[in-house]
Amino acid sequence: MTDRGVNYWGEDRMSISNQQIVAYWVEHEVDLRLDWSTAHERCWRCGYRSSLEQHLVVPASMGGSRTTDNVVLLCGRCVSESPSHLDPQYLWRWLRATSMSSTDTYWTLRGWEEFEVIFGRKPLECFKEAAVDHRSLNAECRALAADEFAKTVVRFGEGRLNPSTIACVIADIEKKLADRHGIKLP
């Protein structure tokens, strides 16, 4: 069902349901790594179930209109990272390059990448050569992760931890594991 309304600037616009947007793009076979059956409720980039914004591929300020062929569904965090450009190929290229094939992992993986930027190495790599039972290490790591993530706070309005906070939690987990097993961190 479409419905005419007025946006913030007083311009006439048509509202479109998330289901209509998904139906359009399923029909046009967009090559994205997402489960189309949940695409009306999950961000097309990070895969998290969240409040979605109907994001214009070509922004209104550049002549884009609120029509199904110019709208994608993104969470607020992904909207803030999306390209704003007249040529729609850039948004689609960005989505294809950065979207996740599994749900609810994107921001955690970004935290691992942020760890590499901050510490200059991959997380937990010092345990590869250590004479430690890796199954028990995995169990310890999971238990520590539960404890350490419980101590964090999410910034107001963000909805989930940011990558740099995740990187710091990973560093704490790594340090505690290294101390327990007598391993010197680089």
Q: Which domains does the chain have, with CATH numbers?
A: 3-98 (1.10.30), 106-181 (no CATH)
The whole model's pTM is what? 0.66
Residue with tokens 């994001």: 55
Q: pLDDT per residue over 54-108, tens digit each?
A: 999 999 999 999 999 999 999 998 999 999 999 999 999 999 888 877 777 788 8
Backbone φ and ψ of 39, nearest 5°: -65, -15
User: Radius of gyration of the chain from Cα atoms?
Assistant: 21
Max Cα distance, the chain (Å): 67
pLDDT digits (tens, 9 = 90+) for 124-163: 888 877 777 777 788 888 899 888 988 888 777 777 788 8
Instruction: Find out whether 57 and 91 touch, Cβ atoms under 8 Å.
Output: yes
